[in-house]
Copies of this chain bind each other. A is one copy, B any other.
Amino acid sequence: MTKIKASSTIQENKLAAYQLCPVTYVMEKISGYWKPIILYQLLSGSKRYSELKKAIPSITEKMLIQHLKQLETDQLLIREALPVVPPHVTYTLSASGEKLQPILHAMAIWAIEDSRDKEHILFSKNVS
């Protein structure tokens, strides 16, 4: 996992924002390019590591595991490993993680409406 320096200006800002702004608190937990996609995959039920990899083909293993570890640390999901060889690991949303569902859903609705309203813009972009 990428190490983080503890005492940069950015980290101080983050710590402050984390405590002062609840929205920033959430953004911390769900931002990272693949996190929402991973969460979405898990909304439909537990998945093994390899199933996630198959479901999200363009993610690299490094990013997948890194985000899974982070989500686990943030207690949004639960990792369960069976002591067998080859390994068998499943990831499941925690209660907190599941409570994100209405938020992710609202975001999706907003996105669909917003991009519908701006279809002509996207279209003209593609044409130009």
Contacts and interface: CB of A to CB of B under 8 A. Distances in A.
Interface of A: 10, 13-14, 16-17, 21-27, 30-31, 33, 36-37, 40, 58, 75, 96, 99-100, 102-104, 106-115, 117-118
A99 B113 contact: yes
27 contacts: A10-B33, A13-B33, A13-B58, A17-B37, A21-B36, A21-B40, A22-B107, A22-B108, A22-B111, A22-B112, A23-B36, A23-B37, A24-B37, A26-B107, A26-B108, A26-B110, A27-B30, A27-B31, A27-B36, A27-B107, A31-B31, A75-B118, A99-B110, A100-B110, A102-B106, A103-B107, A103-B110
A36 B31 CA distance: 13
Contacts of A27: 30-31, 36, 107
B106 A103 contact: yes
A31 B30 CA distance: 10
A11 to B, nearest CB: 11
A80 B108 CA distance: 30
Contacts of A99: 110, 113-114
Nearest to A99: B110
A67 to B, nearest CB: 13
